[in-house]
Amino acid sequence: MTESGRVIPRVLVHRSAEVLAAAAAARLLTRVVDAQGERGSASVVLTGGRNGIALLRAVAASPAREAVDWSRVDLWWGDERYLPVGHPDRNETQAREALLDSLPLDPARVHAMPAADPDSDPAALGALEAAAERYAAELAAASPDGSGLFEPDVLLLGVGPDTHVASLFPDHPALGESGRAVVAVRGAPKPPAERISLTRPAILGAREVWLLAAGEDKAGAVATALSGADGASVPAAGVHGTERTLWLLDTAAAAQLPERIRPPITG
Ligand SMILES: O=C1O[C@H](COP(=O)(O)O)[C@@H](O)[C@H](O)[C@H]1O
């Protein structure tokens, strides 16, 4: 913990993307079981992207998934590509294929972000903004004490090569959104241009934030974010959990970390 009360991130480096996915899956399963033991249920915010989906595949492959009571797990998304239901590029579609369709989840507890109307132009003014507002209302309604505070047990984030997390991109106005929990993102530099994202203040409510990055294309972003960059312009530098912040990397993504903060490979 720093003097400002911020939790210092812990960085773990695994020997490959496959080991990273398997280790993160084991960690997630344990965290969910522990949260259910403590509070009766667990809430997890999923991410899209290759590392987030690899983690879900690793959960699907793990016999330890039987240790979880999946009917008492709430699933949310940190961001979504605003595309029609079932579109292969939707984070929801990929998560369902990788894991969710094989779990005995309570459908009422699977909180996918709204999808675009297949018969309308997703860029048309209004619908995307209304979709973001609906998701914000869903989040507020689900807060356990009615306070509207969103405190998921684990919030997963992929890290883009440009340091984006969820659909908060560097120098995009959505990164500075402070008055709401969910924001409509237009003009995203990575397709599709229309997206929905949790805002930085919403992410900061999570008990644990885990940032996942594998591959050499992520090395620059990881080094920048962990070297004291300003979270107001470098999205990955500005997110943390209230109890814990974990950076889960493979050796390639950790390759440009300055030596003073590069931990030994954990396995
Ligand atoms: O588009 C997105 O990208 C990020 C990062 O994805 P990656 O494939 O570069 O790891 C992801 O975290 C986000 O959920 C997704 O919408």
Mutation pick for ligand 1 pocket among 164, 183, 198, 250 (CB with most ligand atoms within 8 Å):
164
Distance from the alpha carbon of residue 50 to the mean position of ligand 1, in angstroms: 7
Contacts by 148-152 with C-beta closer than 8 Å and gap 24+?
149/205, 150/181, 150/202, 150/205, 150/206, 151/43, 151/205, 151/206, 151/207, 151/242, 152/43, 152/44, 152/45, 152/74, 152/76, 152/205, 152/206, 152/207
CB 247 within 8 A of CB 227: no
Assign residue 156 the CATH number of its domain.
3.40.50.1360
Domain that holds residue 111: 2-250
Domain assignment present for 264:
no
pTM of structure: 0.96
Do the domain assignments include residue 101?
A: yes
48 Cβ inside 6 Å of ligand 1: yes
In a domain, 263, yes or no: no
Ligand 1 atom 1: the closest Cα is on which residue? 49
Nearest atom in ligand 1 to the alpha carbon of residue 80 is: 16
Residue 37 domain-assigned (yes or no): yes
Residue 169 counted as domain residue = yes
Let me know if residue 73 belongs to a domain.
Answer: yes
Per-residue pLDDT of the chain (267 residues; tens, 9 = 90+): 554 556 789 999 999 999 999 999 999 999 999 999 999 999 999 999 999 999 999 999 999 999 999 999 999 999 999 999 999 999 999 999 999 999 999 999 999 999 999 888 877 779 999 999 999 999 999 886 667 678 999 999 999 999 999 999 999 999 999 999 999 999 999 999 999 999 999 999 999 999 999 999 999 999 999 999 999 999 999 999 999 999 999 999 999 999 888 888 887
- Count of the separate structural domains present in the chain: 1
The interface predicted TM-score of the complex, written ipTM, equals 0.98
